[in-house]
Structure 1
Amino acid sequence: MKKLYARYKLFIILLLVSGVLSLKFSTPDYQGDYGDYKMDGAHPSLKSYNALFASSEECIQCHGHDTLGIASVDGEGTDVNVVDHWQSTMMANAAKDPFWRAKVSHEVLLFPELKSEIESSCTDCHAPLGFFNAKHLGATEYTIEDMLADS
């Protein structure tokens, strides 16, 4: 029992130490100068539309970093715009996730006769803009090949 208690105590201490260290050495929000990177449409190749949606690069024009520091800042003037924060999330990168792509490929290797159904089922959540646009335009499926063609 004493051995179990000692392990539990060690675990709690290590957990607390790792928490303190992660707070001390965590990466702070970027406070540098964005320059013209965000607001001038520096990546026109990323701007895209389909029948229903615009890409996040279009959202940046109004909801991205404001070089004047007026919009999307908190009470202390810290940039809190949603687009820059969103672009690094799992949700924004769901279609690029290498594990997901590998898993879909694996499922297709196991069941090649169900390729379209598997890929369409997965792109429903991992590439919803393309999926729902394809459905809107009358497509019965939205495969990985379709998704890559849209990218």
Structure 2
Amino acid sequence: MKSNRRDADPASRLGGHLLALAGDRDRAALSDTVSSLVRGDSLTERDSYGAVLEWTVTAIAGVIADKMGPIASGAVADKVLMLRTPEGEHLTIAELPSPACHVWGAIADYLGGDALRGHRRLRPVVYVSDPEKRVHALTEAVDLLDYLLDMPARDEPDALTE
């Protein structure tokens, strides 16, 4: 059965478009599209930004779960998300600056199965008054999703399921 593109919700269509721009390495078009979404003055466009950000975050959590297997879900989600700086320093999600702490926190919530908490955690990003932070958050999330999709799946046995 073929997917009908018209049946897809607007957030997934726009999120998919942004992902395609990231995959094509079209930084100018990605930046322009995200900036245009953020600049929207109407409540509908602000809601669209939030829906696209949430679609991207849930897609990231889904890819992490698919690539990592059962170890990336439920109660162990916080242990899977080991964040390191380019210098090799380990950071907790709480130590990240805003908006990254909210985005990564929402990813952990979705991995842990708490979609409502993940949705709530994204509110400060969606409603932050600084449009540059909104652009940065969505662009970084789309870039992360593109990066994760290109990574190979974990192929070693999962000690938790053996």
Q: What is the TM-score normalised by the length of structure 1? A: 0.31
- Which structure carries more relative contact order (alpha carbon 8 Å, separation 6+)? 2
More helix by share: 2
